[in-house]
Amino acid sequence: MELILIGFMGSGKTTISQLLARQYQRPVCDLDSAIEAASGQSIPALFAQGGEGLFRQWEQRVLKSVLTRPGILATGGGTPLKEGNRALLKATGAPIVHLRANPAATLARIGNDPTRPLASQLDQAGIAALKAKRHAAYQDCATLTIATDRQSPAAVAAAIARALGWPPRP
């Protein structure tokens, strides 16, 4: 991978990865979609069948298999929680960009989303608490952190490109 996006659910990983992939004509991989393709099950179905533990096993297995591909990777919000996953991400040597949004913006983006089993029951305080618990794991592997709640996706993509020394794209 040439660029890895990490961050909490609803921080913009999928949107920004697709935007950058289009602008720079790079392949894009969405880890959640790759897990669904590899397991043949939706994420809610994996959680229903074997809880978060089963999902995390699939996540680590699929992460290992996609990291050698070229392009841009959008991870899942919980991917950096396992130390082993953080080691895998760091070992790529690729820039790891932590996308951040405040709890209110996060709730507006993901509130009541049935496809996100860990978020569907959370209110704003619950999101703030889970984000706080995860913050150190995100920061442990991030090489760059960018807020996505105060600027448009295009501005976020441009800021990442600038930081990486990629030439500007319309």
Binding site for ligand S3P (CB under 6 A): 9, 13, 32, 43, 76-78, 116-118
CB of 100 to ligand S3P, least distance (A): 13
Cβ proximity to ligand S3P: between 4 and 167 the closer is 4
How far is the C-alpha of 64 from the C-alpha of 4, rounded, in Å? Answer: 13
Cβ proximity to ligand S3P: between 110 and 160 the closer is 110
CB of 32 to ligand S3P, least distance (A): 5
CB of 118 to ligand S3P, least distance (A): 5
Cβ proximity to ligand S3P: between 35 and 158 the closer is 35
CB of 165 to ligand S3P, least distance (A): 27
Cβ proximity to ligand S3P: between 13 and 86 the closer is 13
SS (H, E, C) the chain: CCEEEECCCCCCHHHHHHHHHHHHCCCEEEHHHHHHHHHCCCHHHHHHHHHHHHHHHHHHHHHHHHCCCCCEEECCCCHHHCHHHHHHHHHCCCCEEEEECCHHHHHHHHCCCCCCCCCCCCCHHHHHHHHHHHHHHHHHHCCEEEECCCCCHHHHHHHHHHHHCCCCCC
Cβ proximity to ligand S3P: between 77 and 103 the closer is 77
Q: How many CA atoms lie within 13 A of 115 on its CB side?
A: 11
CB of 67 to ligand S3P, least distance (A): 16
